[in-house]
Amino acid sequence: MEAVPQSPAAEAVPQALSGMSAPEASRQHSTTLTSPDQMQELGRRLAKLLRPGDLVLLSGELGAGKTTLARGLGEGLGVRGAVTSPTFVIARVHPSLTGGPALVHVDAYRLGDGLDEMEDLDLDVSLPESIVVVEWGDGKVEDLSDDRLHVVIHRVVGSTDDERRTVTVTGVGARWADAGLGALTA
């Protein structure tokens, strides 16, 4: 009797998608990653789906992998400088090295809920020509755009040395109605 070949991708089939209606499913994609390298690779793939004016929110606890994902995004976009966790700077602009959109990387961790500081960043001015990626932006930057991509990262278990992460990418707004998020892990 022949063994049925098991596709490695089968494990990665996001459970969250089962039972969802098709339009919903196309706007949400979940996957489990097992290393920082894989997180960076996900960022590089995500970069291929992005275009100027796109707003990406990265959520997840400290050490979840938000900056690691953003670094992959920067690599995929071909921008200048590695994306890092800024110590003093809240927003950093990484210009494209290839004539594409700049990456504006924001770490809103130290920003209060007051919108004033956020407004000082003039993200609304940068957004049309750039890709804006915001860590800790929940509840702070949604007003910038009706269309946004929410990326939520969870540790699979609580232990800090476990490298597994689940990542759920959800598109909000018409921009992401049929954006092929499945390509992220295909």
Ligand X SMILES: Nc1ncnc2c1ncn2[C@@H]1O[C@H](COP(=O)(O)OP(=O)(O)O)[C@@H](O)[C@H]1O
Task: Catalog residues that contact ligand X under the rule CB under 6 A.
Answer: 33, 35-36, 39, 60, 62-68, 85, 135, 163, 165
Residue 178: phi and psi, rounded to 5, are -145, 60
Site for Mg ion contains 32 (CB under 5 A) = no
- Identify the residue among 27, 29, 66, 148 touching Mg ion (CB under 5 A): 66
- Pairing status of strand 102-107 against strand 130-135: parallel
- Answer with the entry of Mg ion, ligand X, none that 36 interacts with (C-beta below 5 to 8 A by kind): ligand X
Instruction: Quote the least distance from Cβ 171 to Mg ion, whole Å.
Output: 22
Site for Mg ion contains 67 (CB under 5 A) = yes
The residues, ordered by sequence, that sit 6+ positions from 62 with a Cβ below 8 Å of its Cβ are none
For residue 123 the two structure tokens come to: 């993200």
- The candidate with the shortest Cα–Cα distance to 73, out of 131, 146, 129, is 131
- Are 181 and 28 contacting, i.e. CB atoms less than 8 angstroms apart? yes
- Identify the residue among 85, 90, 93, 172 touching Mg ion (CB under 5 A): 85
Instruction: Quote the least distance from Cβ 11 to ligand X, whole Å.
Output: 15
Instruction: Quote the least distance from Cβ 86 to ligand X, whole Å.
Output: 11
Which residue minimizes CB distance to ligand X?
65
Measure the CA–CA gap between 129 and 118, rounded to whole angstroms.
18
